[in-house]
Amino acid sequence: MKIIKVDLKKRSYIIAVGYGIINSIGKFITKLNIGQDAYVITNPAIKNRYGELLKKSLRQANLNVKFKNIPDTEKSKSIKTLSSVMNDIAKFDKRKRIFIIAFGGGVIGDLSGFIASVYKRGIPYIQIPTTLLAQVDSSIGGKTGIDLPEGKNLVGVIYQPRLVLSDVKLLNTLDQRQIRAGLAEVIKYAVIKDRMLFNYLDKNYKNILNLKPRVLEYIVNCCSNIKAGIVEQDEREEKGIRTILNFGHTVGHAIEAAANYKSYNHGEAIGLGMLVAADISSSLNLIGHSTVKRIEGLIKSVNLPTHIRGVTLQKIINAHYHDKKFIGAKNRFVLIKGIGETKIVENIPIKIIKQAIKKRLSWPGKLDSSSGGI
């Protein structure tokens, strides 16, 4: 087991990464002394597969357990689900030493963290992420929130968990498309911060797709370390440091939105967004064309799409201008100066952005070989 500390003074916590470590969750919680009543928010698939195991470990530590099933889809990040879960928690909360366990993917983590942040002015919560995407990204750093009809994540706060336990064994519940989606974020960390990780991915991507425990543990540990370091420096995304984690996200979010959140999942869209960001970096002479090709090669290797299908340029541009990363009329992109090095650039001419997106658009009769997407 690897232990990574997220040092945020009073709000510090650890990330435990390992294979089969879910058995130790009871001991971790006893040590933390955060309460007696565990309210576990999870999804039906995870509960069926690993619910009993979690329950057993919690019971052995003399904790009371209640499970709450919600679907692990974006629709659950609604005020409606919030309300129903809140009412259920208030009923369960009799002894007044309650805490929450988010046992699922990013949706469950975001919703659970938000509930923990506002219930009785904040109660402790623990993240046990069960997707690769959540293990390497969303479970760390305390971003929590729900959606409004007007936009995603419009309601939310920064509220840190008391523990993140990433058991890579749980990843065997995922299908290949979900694994690839997580890999897109792993590639992102490599591209923005860690050339060695990039080389490792280049060599080992097959073992990742085949869910080899040792390899999964290595990459989750690597990414958790990078994310922890960034969150420590800029917890509230105020200093422009945490911003680099948005590499590929500006255009990625626009692609997701333009495709009505249907054709592409988050990871696939972010993969495409990274390629657009790399192309823009190349247009601005921050990197050479060979670097774009290296990134594109890795994305292709893990079977993530390298070209955008079924969405028009105009739709992407429109969605893009509603993205949170735009302040007023100014745009702001995280670009790269090489693999492992970022640069934030503002006010990029719209012409250059359009060119970069166009390059990635597949027109009928010019289909690429990528397997993701629609």
State the Cα–Cα distance between residues 256 and 264, nearest whole angstrom: 6
Closer Cβ to a copy of itself, 48 or 261, answer by number: 261
- Identify which of residues 175 and 346 has a Cβ nearer to a copy of itself in the complex: 346
Which of 227, 307, 309, 320 is an active site residue? 227
Instruction: List beta partners, residue 102.
Output: 41, 127
In whole angstroms, what is the distance from residue 278 CA to residue 200 CA?
A: 20
Which listed range, 151-159, 175-183, 276-284, 360-368, lies at the site for a copy of itself (CB under 8 A)?
151-159
When the beta carbons of 114 and 198 are compared against a copy of itself, the nearer one is 114
313's tokens: 């340029």
| Residues 308-347 as x/- pattern, contact with a copy of itself by CB under 8 A | ----------------x--xx-------------------
Min dist. Cβ of residue 156 to a copy of itself (A): 6
222: which 2 tokens?
């690597």
Contact code string over 226-265 relative to a copy of itself, x by CB under 8 A: ----------x-----------------------------
d(CA 223, CA 280): 25
Nearer to a copy of itself, 83 or 233 (CB): 83
Closest contact distance (angstroms) between CB of 86 and a copy of itself is 6
| Start-to-end Cα distance in the chain | 38
From candidates 31, 75, 120, 337, binder to a copy of itself by CB under 8 A: 120
* Contact positions with a copy of itself (CB under 8 A) in 73-102: 79, 82-83, 86-87, 90-91, 93, 95-96
Do 104 and 43 contact (CB within 8 A), yes or no?
Answer: yes
Tell me how many degrees the CA angle 317-319-323 measures, rounded to the nearest 5.
110
Cβ of residue 32: shortest distance to a copy of itself, in angstroms? 18
Query: Is 346 an active-site residue?
Result: no
Q: Which of residues 48-77 bind a copy of itself (CB under 8 A)?
A: none
Is residue 308 within 8 A of residue 272, CB to CB? The reply is yes
DSSP symbols for 245-295: GGTTHHHHHHHHHHTTTTSS-HHHHHHHHHHHHHHHHHHTTSS-HHHHHHH
CA dihedral over 17, 22, 28, 29, signed as positive or negative: positive
Token representation of residue 173 = 């519940």
DSSP codes joined into one string, 122-174: ---EEEEE-SHHIIIIITSS-B--EEETTEEEEE--B---SEEEEEGGGGGGS
Determine, following the binding rule CB under 8 A, whether residue 148 of this chain makes contact with a copy of itself. yes
Catalytic annotation on 249?
A: yes
Q: Which is nearer to a copy of itself, 326 or 367 (CB)?
A: 326
Give catalytic residues, as residue numbers.
121, 143, 185, 227, 237, 242, 246, 249, 253, 266
Residues near a copy of itself (CB under 8 A) are: 79, 82-83, 86-87, 90-91, 93, 95-96, 114, 117-122, 145, 148-151, 154-158, 236, 324, 327-328
